[in-house]
Amino acid sequence: MTLDNILEIIKKIVDISLVWLIIYYILKNIRNNVKLTLLFKGVILVVLLKLASDFFGLTTIGLLLEYVMMWGPLALIIIFQPEIRNVLEQLGRTQLLGRHKVLTVDERERLVYEIVQAVDYLRKARIGALIVLERDTSLSNYIEKAKKIYADLSSDLLISIFFPNNPLHDGGVIIQGDRISCAGAVFPTSSSSKVNKKFGTRHRAALGIAEESDAISVVVSEETGRISIAVKGELFYNLSLDDVRMMLIDELRPKQEDEMLDELDEEEIYEENM
């Protein structure tokens, strides 16, 4: 085998690897966006229906699906332009190695403790709050438009930010790692029909950012003092402090640690059955 052949093989391997890397990051960002996930499922469904119509010889439905596949991409680009733009922006902002800082167990426990302490005070005082924790998907676009803080996280600081008449209490706080990056952040509101009509802007904003990213949103209702968490496109309402603590610890756990715990659980189940 000559040197030219070896170089050609290396080029092909690099070429294929880059293609798979691009596909991986596109699918990863689609997974973190509920609207684009539904869109992706719809495209898959249309393709499967087209294959089925060709296989069973359904001429009429096949012809209609051909028109859909011909003009569908243009229609989707126009209709879902904001979502597609957000995904492309996130691809540019997302760090290749995931979260900018992987917290240790002690740091995660301290982070959750400070948030729970602040939330407990806010709910008792009926002070509205929206706290957003960044994970793998960067929220720098929202941070740039908000008031920068870059301070160590503490319950006292969170309480003071959301205290009534504070200029920043109307927006949301974004936490990166174990630091407060900004306050007064404005997020897109969810238009989901599943959201209860009694929920206000804070709850819809919390769900909106949870639909467009993998962030965790903690909400305190100003009217009722109830606590909610929005994560992975779902809103969990009227949670207890213990529920909030357990959800945050579970969601902030690194993926590698999750896999190790799953393996340990499987080993325990296996040993019990032996």
| Per-residue pLDDT, 130 | 97
The answer to whether residues 109 and 88 belong to one domain is no
The confidence score (pLDDT) of residue 274 equals 52
Same domain as 230, residue 116: yes
| Whether residues 69 and 119 fall in one domain | no
Could you list the residue range(s) of the whole structural domain that residue 69 is in?
3-93
Same domain, 74 and 153: no
- CB within 8 A of 107, min separation 6: which ones? 177, 178
Tell me the residue length of the chain: 274
Task: State what percent of residues in the chain have pLDDT above 90.
Answer: 38
Q: What is the pLDDT of residues 222-260, one digit of tens each?
A: 999 999 999 988 999 999 999 999 999 999 987 655 555
CATH number for position 163: 3.40.1700.10
Classify residue 41: in a domain, yes or no: yes
Name the band, by pLDDT with cuts 50, 70 and 90, for residue 29. Answer: low
Mean pLDDT of 100-114: 85
210 and 247 together in one domain = yes
* Helical spans, DSSP H, in 80-165: 81-93, 105-124, 140-144, 155-162
Is residue 266 domain-resident? no
Q: Which two tokens stand for residue 105?
A: 């167990």
4-8, 35-39, 165-169, 214-218: least confidently modelled range: 35-39
User: Is the pLDDT at 30 greater than 50, yes or no?
Assistant: yes
Specify the pLDDT at position 23: 79
Is 74 in the same domain as 141? no
Overall domain count for the chain? 2
The pLDDT, as a whole number, for residue 95 is 47
What is the predicted pLDDT for the residue at 258?
54
Are the beta carbons of 234 and 206 closer than 8 angstroms?
A: no
Asked whether residue 109 is assigned to any structural domain, the reply reads: yes
- Among 230, 221, 237, which Cα is nearest to 119's? 221
Q: Are the beta carbons of 171 and 183 closer than 8 angstroms? A: yes
The answer to whether residues 115 and 244 belong to one domain is: yes
Q: Write down the pTM of the prediction.
A: 0.66
Same domain, 61 and 190: no
Q: Are 35 and 193 in contact (CB under 8 A)?
A: no
Could you list the beta-strand ranges (E) of 127-231.
129-133, 147-152, 172-176, 179-185, 216-220, 227-231
- Same domain membership, residue 119 and residue 84: no
